[in-house]
Structure 1
Amino acid sequence: MQPVDLALCLAVDVSASVDFDEFGLMAGGLAAAFRTPDIAAACAAGPRGAVAVSLLFWSSAQEVAVPWTRIAGAGEAEALAAAIDNAPRLPGPGATALGPGMAAGLALLARFGGEAGRLVLDVSGDGAHNRGRPPGPVRDVGVGAGVTINALAVLNEEPDLLAHYEAEVIGGPGAFAMSCANYADFADAIRRKLRREMLGGVLVA
């Protein structure tokens, strides 16, 4: 793969707390974000003119839903959106194993086959960690390896989830956490989050 400005792993919660309709809103929101002109433009805004994106679904187990894809414009962004639309919900619903999910995302970043100016793990979910390796030490390993870890907390079930993500998940240069009230608001929130990540942490509308 040719060099990119950013290698971005989208690590998305598909645990039992995410029902069928919520999964559809989440996956549909991600796909819709990559179909917007501002995200397509943000993908190409850096000096290398491209980003690379992968999609990981996590629960008690983890599964790569979309492998690394280079995006340098609207056509490639549309192809990624179609791949997200067609990605099956694997693994099956299970516990909110946030730490193992983050570890799988970091491993996917470590396997990125190209040169990237920045490495970012983008974690989205609606529940606090409740199974397996705790997220804080995983976060510290990722930060030590040069990865920035950001988070989007969906507050429909746990109103204090943002504080958990801020304390246990995010880290690295320019790291931030955002929240949205529910999955109906996910599409707008993830679009703003993606722009902020692609533009290097600049606060965007």
Structure 2
Amino acid sequence: MVRLVPPALLAASALAGPAGADGCRLALVLAIDVSSSVDAEEDRLQREGLARALLAPEVVRAFLAGDPVALHAFEWSGQRTQVPFWPGWVMVEDEPTLERLAATIAGSPRSTDELPTAVGAALARGAIALRDGPDCRARTIDVAGDGFHNEGFGPDLAYREFPFTGVTVNALVIGGSDFEAELVRWFEAEVMRGPGAFVEVAEGYGDYARAMERKLLRELGLPAVSGTPEGDDAG
């Protein structure tokens, strides 16, 4: 039973209801970091990088192979700031839908640039979105971040108090810093969770699109373009 619901997360219950859940193979939540450690240029690179990854030919093919994927996406920073890119869930059944979602992300305004890094609240927001979303065969939360949690309840409390049964949580760590190895270890120990979970690493924001493409291919069930084989998951 969920007992702890921070005020900012109550808004998640207003998400649109299940979007044509019949036959849905995956409900995928994408969450990107807009905390104060992300400057304006880095934010531009991650929005454009995510949009490019969604439209990469292999990713498009993976989205459209078999039953559809339901997609929800939001930006996160402080404990009370998780802002969706579009209302509710979108069922991805054709390439024009992916093009529309990618354009929405690439052209979206940043909600804030001065708040801390509340990873626990971001995870909780993702869990509530999945709870109120379509009944797909698999459920995944995809958290991208470039820093350690530093505000509010942490991932451990989020995992105890919010509905994560059957949910896989993967992470995209934006590295390129002196503390990259430590940050990767923290995400592996504190954020990565569930069956087949893994952490992908981008070597800075200029590498965001490539790393996101690799991660999406693994989550959508196709081998990565290069590098780590699909079955060699972290954890």
- 2:127 maps to 106
TM-score (structure 2 length as normaliser):
0.80
Aligned residues: 200
The amino acid that maps onto 2:98 is A
Provide Cα deviations, 1:56-81, integer angstroms capped at 9, x if missing partner: 11111211123321112211111111
TM-score (structure 1 length as normaliser):
0.91
Cα displacement (A) at 1:137:
3.1
The amino acid that maps onto 1:183 is Y
Is residue 127–residue 164 contact of structure 2 (8 Å, CA) maintained in 1?
A: no
Aligned match of 1:163 in 185, 196, 202?
A: 185
Counterparts of 1:41-190 in structure 2, within 5 Å, are: 41-46=61-66, 48=67, 50-60=68-78, 61-67=81-87, 68-112=89-133, 114-139=134-159, 144-157=164-177, 158-159=179-180, 160-190=182-212
Is residue 128–residue 162 contact of structure 2 (8 Å, CA) maintained in 1?
A: no
Is residue 8–residue 54 contact of structure 1 (8 Å, CA) maintained in 2?
A: yes
Any runs of at least 4 consecutive aligned residues in structure 1 with deviations exceeding 4 A, and if so which?
A: 140-144
CA change 1:96–1:79 in 2 (3 A) is same
Provide Cα deviations, 1:87-106, integer angstroms capped at 9, x if missing partner: 22124431011111111111
CA change 1:31–1:13 in 2 (3 A) is same
CA distance in 2, matches of 1:174, 1:140: 20
Structure 1 spans left out of the alignment, 5+ residues: none
CA distance in 2, matches of 1:5, 1:93: 37
133-142 or 82-91: bigger deviation: 133-142
Identity %: 38
- Aligned residues: CA RMSD: 1.6
CA change 1:165–1:28 in 2 (3 A) is same
84-93 or 184-193: bigger deviation: 84-93
